[in-house]
Structures are given as C-alpha cells and as structure tokens.
Structure 1
Amino acid sequence: MGRFLLLLFTLSFVSLRFCLGVDVLSFSTELKDSETLVSSPSTFRFGFFSPVNSKGRYAGVWFNNVPVQKQAVVWVANKDSPINDSSGVILISKDGDLVVKDGRGLVHWSTNLSRPAGAANARLLSTGNLVLQKVSDNKDKTPSIWESFEHPQNAFLPTMTISTDARTGKRLILRSWKSLSDPSPGRYTAGVIPLPFPELALWKDGLMLWRSGPWNGQRFLGLPERDSVIDLYGFQLANDNRGSVSMSFGYNQSMYHFLLDTEGHAMEKYWSKVNQEWSSGLMFPINCDIYAKCGQFSSCKSGLDPPCKCIKGFEPRSNQEWSRGNWTQGCVRKTPLQCHSNGSREGDGFLRLKKMKVPKNPQRSEVNEQDCPGSCLRNCYCTAYFYDTGLGCLLWSGDLIDMQEFLTSGVTLHVRLAGSELKTSSNRSLVIIITMVGCAFLVAVIVLLALRKVTKRREKNRNARLLFERMEALNSNESGAIAANQNKLKELPLFEYQVLAAATENFAVTNKLGEGGFGSVYKVLLSLGKLREGQEIAVKRLSQTSGQGLEEFVNEVVVISKLQHRNLVRLLGFCIEGEERMLVYEFMPGNSLDACLSDPVEQRLLDWKTRFNIIDGICRGLMYLHRDSRLRIIHRDLKGSNILLDENLNPKISDFGLARIFRGNEDEASTLRVVGTYGYMAPEYALGGLFSEKSDVFSLGVILLEIVSGRRNSSFNNDDQNLNLSAYAWKLWNDGEATTLVDPVILEECFENQIRRCVHIGLLCVQDHANDRPSVSTVIWMLSTENSNLPEPKQPAFIARRVSPDAESPWESEQRTSINNVSITEIIGR
C-alpha cells in the first residue's frame, strides 16, 4: 500500500510539473500527448499539436501565449510520420536519443545520435531551440549533443543560423511545409550561396526562384528597398572566403520570426499583443524579384506594363513571344561588339543603368575604381562592370541575367555597347534643341485644345471640382494634427475612365459580380496605378439613375479615405469623369453578411464562433467610427448588405455615402432629408430626422438579431403576425422562448448562454428611446463580460407598416454581391 501511494505521489508530482510548465524533459520521464515543456521565459512551448484541418499528431515547438487557432509552429520532429491518435509520448532512450513513439511503441522520429550519449536531458531554451544535453549539475555550461536549430525547417528565428559549407557539403537551409495541414518537406527551400559572393537564394524543386544579389559586407545589393529590414533586425553574415558562409540575426523581440510559407514566399511575422494577431509582411519574391523573369539583357521594373524591356542596344530575341508576354528568351544585341586580336578596344563604350540590381555571376578584378572600366574593355568577353567599395571591381562575361530596375535606390551598372549604339547621343545638343521646339509647339496646341474642351465641358467637370473643394474644406476645418495629413488624402488614386474600362474589358458581363439599383460591380485582377500587381479589386460603376447622387459619392470618397481600421472596407481609388462616377474597393471574396445569411449553403459555414467574431468585428469597426477615429462618423445606413466579409469571414463595414461627420462636442444632428434603409432606421431618425451614435446602435441591434436568427429583417414582409424581426424577438423574449429565435444551424452548439446574451443585447439596442440604448463601447463590454447582469430591455420601436414589398429600399436589387450597394429611402418627417 505504501509503495502504491509513493508511486501515485510520484506520478502526480510529474504531471503537476508539466502542468505548471517546465523546460526540461528528464532522462527518467515521459512527455505525454497532453503535456508540454515551456521555455523560460515562457515564449515557446514543446509538445504535441495538430495542424489546421489535420487529425495527425506531431511533436513540435510553437509560440506560447498565442490562441490555438493562430498557432505558429516553428519546428516539427516527426514531420514525415504523424501519429494517428493521442497515445504519443516523447522520451529519452537508454542511448540518449530523443524519441517520439506512439502507443504501440513504434518509433516515429529519433535524433539518431551517431554515438550513444547515455543519460541525457532535453531542454527547451528561451530562443525556441530544443537541445539535448548530457546530465550535468551545471545545466548552463553543459554543451549540447544535439539541437533543433541545426535542423531548421520553415521558420528562421533570432540567433538561429542558416549556412552552407562548400567543402563539406553541409547545408542548413529553410524548407517550406507541403501544405498548411502537412508539415512534411514542401517544394521550396531557402539558404545562402557561398561563392563567388555570398547571396541569399530561394529555390523551387531545386531550381532558383529568387536571389538577393551579393553581400558587400553591410547589405545585399539586390535588396536596396528592403535595407531597413536588414538593418533593423541586425542581420549578420560570416564568410571565410573559402566556401563557408553563414547568416543569422539578433532582433530583440522574442515573438518575431521569418517564415518560408507553402507558396514559396519569405514572410516577416510579428505577434501584436494589442491586436492579438500575427502581423505579416511579404519580403520576397514580389513581381520582378522572380529570378530571370525577363531573360538575358533585359530589365524588369515593377509597375510597368509590360514589366520587361530590353536595355538600350538590344532587341527581343523573338518579337512574337515577347508580344505574348513570354520574356524568358530575353534580348540580343543589335550591333556586335568589336574586338582586335591585340586585345585593345576601340569604339566600344558603356551605357549607364541606374538603380539596378546587379546580374548573376559577377567576377572580381583586383584593379581600383579608376581602372575598372579599362579592365572590362581589355577583355573581349566582358559585357558589364560595376564598382562597389566593399566588393571592389566586379566584371560580367557573357549574358547578363536577372537584372531589375528599382524605384528608389540600387547600383549604377555599366553595360558594354558597340560604339555605333552610343554615337546616337553625340548630337544630343541638336536633338535636345529640336525636341524642345517640337515640345513647345505641341504644348501650345494641347493648351488651345484643352481650353476649348474645358469651355465645352465646364458643366460636366463641376463634379470633380466639387469633390476636391469638399476635400479641401474638410481638411481646413479640422485640427492641426489632421490638417497635417492633407497630402495623404490627395494620394488616393484618381483613375481615368479609360483605364477602368480597359481593365474590365469595357465592363464586360463576364467580369460583372452583380447589379443593383446603384449600378454594377466588376471584379478585376491586375495592377492599376499604385496598386500591386495581381491585386483583386472591385469597381463599382454608379448608374446615372442611381439613388446615390453626387453628394453621397463625394461624401464616401472624403470620409472613407481618412479612415483606417481592420473592420472598415478600404477604398483604393475613384473615378469621376463627365457623367461617370466609379469607386475602386478592395475585393471581399466572402460576400456580404446579408447574402451569407440568406443563402442556405453559405449559412452553414457560419458557426456560432464565426458569427460571434462577426458581431465583435462590426462593433469594433463602429466603435472606431464613433470614438477612436480622427473624425466622429455616424454611418446612417448600417445593414447586413453593407457588412462585407473577407476570405477569413472577418467583417468590414462599407458604404459611407450617407455618413455624417460630427465635430467638437456635437452629439446629435437633424436633417430635413431622411435617407437610409427602411427597417434599420431608428424611430427618432425615420420620423423626426434626428440622428446620433444611438441611431447606428439601433441598426446594430437589428443586425445582431439577424445574425443570431439567421433571418433577414425583410423576411417578415408577408408575415401578418409579426411586424418585423425586432417585434418577433420581443414577443419570444417576453414568452421566455428566446431560444426559438436562434438559427437551427447553431442551435446545437454549446453556447446557449452566450447566444441568449446576444439576443438580450440586440433587444437593448433596438429600444424605442435613444437614451435607453447602450453605446457601442458598452455593447462591446457586454459581449466580453459574461458574468455581469444586463438591464431588462424595454419594448422596441415598432415603426409603421412597410411602404414597399421590398422592405430594404425601392432601389435595392434582390441580387447580392460582395460589394456594398447604396440605398436611399426618403421619409417625410412629422
């Protein structure tokens, strides 16, 4: 009996140690599936986990104190051999190997030490490095016999090293996961190249995908526009000039790392404690970063269409392929170089290319900067040179591959051309004079034509003038801090009609996302002005008969251009030309909330956790408008069709055409023109023209009841028993049958108290008197505080019977899109 109690005490003590969090797995203990090691300080955790959409169990290291759904795993032991149940254990074998076994004793992974180590301990260090050490009294001075940092995977952590030794063939490289649910080795790898000059590189299936350019002792010459990242995070590169090179960084933020994702992108990742989100930044490759995208003797520049162009003195090898957008064959010389048998050079010269990424495979010459050009000219095979204070004179022979022109910095590359190609600039002065005279004449003609055109179209262009005058007036009335950001407002791209028409293939039906009373919405995938290449955008083209007039259009551009929040849709630009008015938005692939709730298939994707997240996001976006933004905004048209969902079903508030700005101590305003959507308007606004923050709270309450019930407010149009959703919810609440309101799709989930609380909050928001309704900040507090007692709701506002079979708006189409539409209902106040 005593031995049994002793054994029970020992097992309880071991379990308690793992529950409290220890960083060491001892030689005599096992780490079960439900137990973990925690580093000191508690930045990392080691144990079993399952990737997203996977039931397999893997032993790995991940960041601690991060929600499970946002878990970031940085190293996996049995990445090729998952355990199919929770019977797995991690232990140290009698030979000193760290081993992962399943319940049957089958080994799924082992450190496989070449020499038996005997008694050893596994320790999770504060850096995230899992090390194996021999048992010793002094743990800090005991050398490691194995460590996970010597077996890197898809994550690059501070103090970790990636390296290549050309003499031994040993490489420490990053390798992507096969997919988000499968951590086995994927198709992409990243590492350092030692010779002839150290470089970073990305490979896909062993073929180069991207290169950084050579390291000059301080920076990579192919990353000029990302030098700040290299400097900030303390990157260091060690090179012994004999084929061994290694790189590490020492950023002092523990929740930071670089990730090679499953698509081959190098991402910088930082955990924001405030937002409880991973902040991500794409490092490379981006567009022109792709290795040899334009072939030889061609330069790539992002933002151009097409991005590739032959450098001066060269022409496409195949004009047919070039016109098709296939630039991989590159360019060839128009005029061959001349080379005398005695090695001297006559007639050839150099073309200066600024802000360039240096080509692949340079060779070093020992000459100084003054002699570097001559060193190239004396070599018949030299095609370019560049001098760097850290690297010296670099020469290129043969084809120039992987050149890129940057927007800001870069190097000046000197490309060798035949003298006849350079002589075209000898008469530059005459050409300049002729060009200036021609340009002056052309400008005069253009000015005369423009004056005539302005005179004829003065009335049409008043819309554009009104827009910019409204922008200037808004900024001039704001505080100094806001007025300082006036230039930011002017940076919002103003697109030409021809550009958007070409992008949508002249507004073809095949590109149309949907159509409503406001006009049509089109999806586009391309680069437009300041937008990145490949970005999906949505173009809303307002019809001339739209319920949204010039005032609403101007209001939306002015207001939303000054707002920045994760739960507000982002306006990317606009077009106002003649009678044409268009808005360019970020594309929301998740459709609108209204469409998802009314679609039986998409509705099933909205489990309660997702719906609660949508409620929380709407509230936080509205809180930003009311209290946290530089301007206090009253939306005035909050409804399900104006809540858009991104690919992760995160909500974003859209359509600010009817929004109004409050300044100073203004809490309420009135209007003689009541605009909005029937069924979502507060009674004091619909009947008296008064609007305030509480007007938006009323609309929020209707949306909250829609999300819980899965029914649109307008679904009660033909219901003689219930006037609207609020009335129906109020009746069920008084009858003690609030759960009857809940959507059957989520009724079986174990969140009854939370769902009932949301019904309670929704009824508080739709109360008849504005003063009885809570503020948005109070709503957020109510949602996050489960143990507080909420006040009993009073009878909601039952507005007069519907004025139209379509209870939302006489202009609104039944067809739903993922882009906001605008509806205006005019009610005569009394």
Structure 2
Amino acid sequence: MAKTRTITEGSIPFVMLVMFYSFCTLLSHAADTIRPKDMLRDNETLVSAGELFELGFFEDPFSGNSYLGIWFKSDMNKKAVWIANRESPLLDSTGVLQIRSDGNLILTDRRQTPMIVNSGSVATSENTSATLLDSGNLVLKEGDSTIWQSFDYPSDTYLPGMKLGWFGLKTEQPRIQVLVSWVSPQNPTRGDFTLGVDYKGATKLGVWRRDNAHMDIGFWDGKNFHFIFKNSSNSFNFSYVSNENETYFTFSTSGSHVLSWFVMASMGLMDEYTMSKGKISMVSHSICEESAKGNASECLMPMPSMCKEGDTFSVISGSMPASMIVNGSNNMGFSDCEFICQSNCSCTAFASVQDDQTGCQLYYGNKNDLLSIIEKEGGVIYVRGDAPTEHDVGGQRRLWLILVSSLTPLIVLILFSLWCYLRCRSLNCTGPTVNQVRSRDDVSGTGEVTLLPRGSNMTPTNVVTTATKLELGREKDQELSLFSFSSIETATDYFATENKLGEGGFGPVYKGKVPQGQEIAVKRLSKRSGQGIEEFKNEVTLISKLQHRNLVRLLGCCIQGEENILIYEYMPNKSLDSFIFDSTKRVLLDWRKRINIIEGIAQGILYLHKYSRLRIIHRDLKTSNILLDGDMNPKISDFGMARIFGENETRAKTNKIAGTYGYMSPEYAMDGLFSEKSDVFSFGIIVLEIVSGKRNMAFFESDQSLNLLGYARNLWKEGKSMEFMDSTLDDSCTTSEVLRCLQLGLLCVQDRAADRPTMSDVVSMLSNETIALPLPREPAFLTHMSSSTDADSSKSKHKQCSTNDITVSEIYAR
C-alpha cells in the first residue's frame, strides 16, 4: 500500500525530522497539498481532503513506463482519470514531483530531465502550492489565485466541472480542450478517438476517429442538452457557454450520494461510469439506439458492409504465427488493427501482437484454413463473420473431394470446347456474336448478365443467364458487369457534348445515368490515345481487385469492336485540380477540407502499397487523378499506368516511361526506375500544390530560376513558410499544421529515393503530431526545367502560367 507523501527538508535537525514524520503519519488523510521544497516520490501519494481522489505514480505493467496520474481512491485498479506525462513517460520508478524554486510544478527522474507540469501557464513567483481537490482537479496557486489546473488539460475522462470546448477565441492560437482515448485499455498513449465540441456546429458533442466523424453524443437545443443515448443515471446537468472568448460544455451531477462521469474508451465508445458508496459501475454507449434516432438529424448509424462476410468479427482462441505481424508498434492499438482489417474485404482475421492489445497481425487466407496454422494456446483472434470450426474444415474437405471427382469430366469438356472456339476464331470462322449487358433489373442484386445476339429484337428481360468472368487477354478477372455499347450511348445521350466531364490521356470522360437513376462516369478510350488496349486491360485487372474508401470504384466496362469503355461511380465534384487551381472555386476548400484530402490520399496510397491483395505502384499520381465525391472525400483514379510488385520486389525498371511531367520522380523520369518511393514523390508534389494552390509545372520564381519545389524549400529554410500557403486559407488554417504539411511535402520530394519516407511513415507523421519530422534534404528538379520559358518568365516575380500537365505516353531512358 502506498505511503502518504514524505516532506524532505535538508536543514531540519534529525530529531525534528523524526517528530515531523510521525506527525505526518498520524495526519496522513490530510496530505492533499505539495509546497515548495516538498517532494512526492514514486511510492507516495496525495489524497484529496474528502479522500475521494488520489494523486501518485503508477506503472504500465507491459512497458514498465511510469506515469503521474490521478485516480479514485476507492478504485483498486487505479485507473487514471488524468495523466500529467502522457506523452513523456518516465522509464523507471525514480520519478519525483516537486515545486521548483521558481514556483513551477516539475516532474523529474534519475536522469534529472525536468518536465514542467504546468507548462501551459508558467508561475511568476516562488509563493506557489499544488492542491488535489475533491473534484479530481489538481490546482496550482500563487497565493489565492489559481494559475493552472489539470481540468484545463483533460486526458480521457470527463469529470463533473470539467470543460470541453474552445478557449481564447480572440487570441492568435485558440486552445481546444478535448478527451483523447488511450491506445489500448492498458496503454495510456494517445489513441485514435477524440471526444469534444463539433467544430462545424459548436452546439454538439461528438466523437471523431482521427478527423473523421465517428458518432454523436448529444446536442444543445438552446435551453437543454439532449443525449443521443439514454444514460443510465439521468443525473447529468449540462450547461453550454458561448461568448466572444470561449465556447464550451460543462456538467454537474444531481444527488450527493452518486457521482457520474464519462470516459472516451480506446475502442471508440463513450463509457458512462457511476460511483455509489465507493462502488464503481460502468455502462458502455456506442452507435445510437433505435429509440433515439429521432433525437438528432445527424445520429450516426452503422454503414452497410461492402464485404460478403460483413464487418462484424467472431472471437476464437489462439495466436497467429509471428510472420504475420504487420506492425508491432505500441502506437497501433486494437481499433487501428480492426479498422485496417475492416477496410479490406480480403482481410479474414486480425489479432493484437502484445498482451496490452497493441501491435497488429492480419490474415488474408480462407478462414477455415486458419485453424490449421494458428497456435491453439494463448491469445485471441478476431475472425470476420462466423467463427470456423473443425467440423467446417472436415466438411469442406469432403465437399471438395466430391466436387473435384464429379466436375472433372465437365471441366475437361468445357476446356475442349473453349479450345475449339479459340481455334475457330484464329482461323477467322464466322459465327454468332453477342453483346453482354448488365441486367437493368439490377435492384435484385443478383449480379446476372443478359446475353443478346447482335441485331436481335429481344430485350434484356427476355433472356437472362449467369454472369461469366470477363476475359482480358489470357487472364481471367473476377466477375465484372459488362455493358453493351448501345446501353452506354443511351445513358450518355449518345455522348452529348453537354455530358462531357473532361478529357485526359486515355480519352474523354462523360456523365451518364442508368434507368434506375444512378449517375455514372463513362471513360471512353480514344482511338487517337497514346494509351492503348494494354493500359485498358491493366486498369480493369487492377482496380476490380481493389476496395478502399479512397479509391474510385469501377462499376463495369464495355468491350465491343473498337470500343473500350470503363464505367465508374460518378464523382460530382470532379477532380482536385479543378478546385485548387481555380481562383474562384479554391475558396470552397478551407484548410480542414484540404488536410482531410491530404490524409485521404495518403491512406489510399498506403493501401495500394501495403494492405491490398496486390502490391501496386500507381505511377501517375497527380491532382487531376484525385476525384472528389459529394462530401469532398478524395478518391484515387486512373490505374492505366499502375504496376504490380511482388512481395520481395523493391524496385523495377522500364524503357517505356509513362506519366506526367511535374509529378514524376527524378529516378523514373531519367532512368525509368520506379518503386513505392516514386509514388511518395508524386504525393509530395500533390501536398505542396494543395498547400500553396499553385501548379508545380506552371509556377516559376524568376529571381533564382526556381520552380515550386525550390521556392518552397527556400521559404522553409528562411523561416517564411507561411508565405508559401494559399492566401485564401488565412482565416481557416492552423499554423502548426501548415508548417508540418510543408515540411512533410519537402521530405517526400527529396532527390534521393532512399531519403524519402514510406507511405506508412507519412500516415504516421500526419496522424501523430508528436512525431518529430526529420530535416528535408535538397528536393529534386530544384530549378525550372523548361529553358524555353525562362526568358518570358523573368518578366514577373511569380508568374502563373497557363501550361497544362504534359502526359508522357512514351519516352526512352537515357
């Protein structure tokens, strides 16, 4: 059991020290304050006057790290409601809390590296003391004035009297108070989920997973606070305060015998706790209940799953082999691992690596085969859908034996018929040809395809047969809807000019509408295009195997005569370049939207490089290939130039260099070498263009013959980074985020591929502001590459040229 704090003063005689120690022992219940020269060591605690809360050191049993925290004195588990050094844990149990001679509350260990606990409001005199109140608030006072309090810096717990919201609204850097979850129930490192005031509508409390809305907690109607959930105690009295200086929520609880509070749990749930007579109980709240739907228009309900097995996971006992570890870092929690697996339908199961539910293992095989490779003892594995059983495995094997023995003759017959057909076709035999068109009765979701002979008067409802797999060259892809050319003509009003959305290296893109009313985007391969049928096949083969919220979705295709057409989901906001390079529309993308777009693009590329079934290098990432849906969510498109990498393949070389000047990495443009770092370079260009609102290939700084990369590098070195930012973002940007994005962009466009970060590193840097970014080296293509434009460009300081992206279809390496 922890002792009460011991006060050490070197100048007190030995006898007085013994008497003083005895006195403190007798009055241990009153030790709620620490004063100058007092020391609180690892095995000592402060206890609030009413013995409700306790402050002291606690240890993470898995990492051995030590933290200074506050917990309920009656809680045997010592679950901290507030932590002083959450991001800077002590490495051992030598921690000491004391008030330094300058009046500041500091935390040190045997390394004697001080951490100022009250760094948000530094003391100005020596006359200070820190007291733990019965509210759970640790306050630092100068005389009778409070200069700092722990309630202004919440961890994951919302106690009565605590405020969540925005403060210092009239200052240059307003301060936000939110709850941030632990990365796992045992690891207090900052997790994925945040609970706080909705910055879009300040009268709502909500939960975010990073910057994406996760669920609503409740809202203020002008007089009262309404929970989306039915809270168990009904004892919360919320107040909402809003003025020119601050906007926040706070609450109290009714009844003196029951205390209630909230915790932002590591799984993204809002847990409600109550304590009565020293006993703590918990009620967990997640997605809103059926009865509560009408309480708020934006109550978040579960999205329907895109996966055949659904997005729910069953639990089985066992542990995966160590070879399946994707990330062993303790910064990746259970919810991260679940999210990665949930986002990829090919992911069959996942598990945590460490006992404290950090780290991540993923399994992509058949879930019935999982039982044969896992270790039966220890651990927990989460399997998509229903859990497999030994009976399932045995039954499946017997079923396969029956199917193989019975279907072998049929397969031989089919292969022989196919050989005859191909033989006949190679000899220019004539025969009936067919158009394959997706059944217009698509609402059934059967995936059936109608086969119609050309010239037939039959309608799609006359003849229906099961869909066959699309044959592309010698490879067979997964089932994909095939549309007839006539149905596409009808959908696009015969490729009317007013339906034309744009044109790229592939050919024109048109807007269309199917009979059910769904809008589609139709990409038609131009006969004059530098890209050909191989790129068309490549795009169909790749994108049909991919599924991610930041990749555009392929709905089907048409292969008829010389017509090669792709049908995509329609993106109402078109491409990113149509916003950031347009002087009128760029104002619609404030800083929050731009940072969300940057993070979405990064997540999409990371999926391609690491988490999809195929390791894919895109090779043509640019702003015109980033499409925006109705909510401005980014979707990566145009996979015609993409290439598949093997598991052990790190880079490849080509003599046919295809891509877009201004976005190609130097090693690819000059020598035909491409790798994951080629996409990282393109991503860096996109980040710099999003931040600046300037096109790389159309920008020229005449004084030093610098392009956009060189201009960004110079401003960063001179400490003038904010001059690089698009001026329309002045009112919406966060300075620290702008500086971080600029530095991240410069890291991605470094000349040497080895110096650039991986996309895993990029995502970590974007999502965790505590990660220190390395200093970027010289970027590639530092000066303007086009000598023909130099003379003209020198006429203006910052000339905005009208040069369009130049898409390279074929260049031979030097």
TM-score, scaled to structure 1: 0.48
Higher relative contact order (CA 8 A, sep 6+): 1
Q: Which has the larger radius of gyration?
A: 1
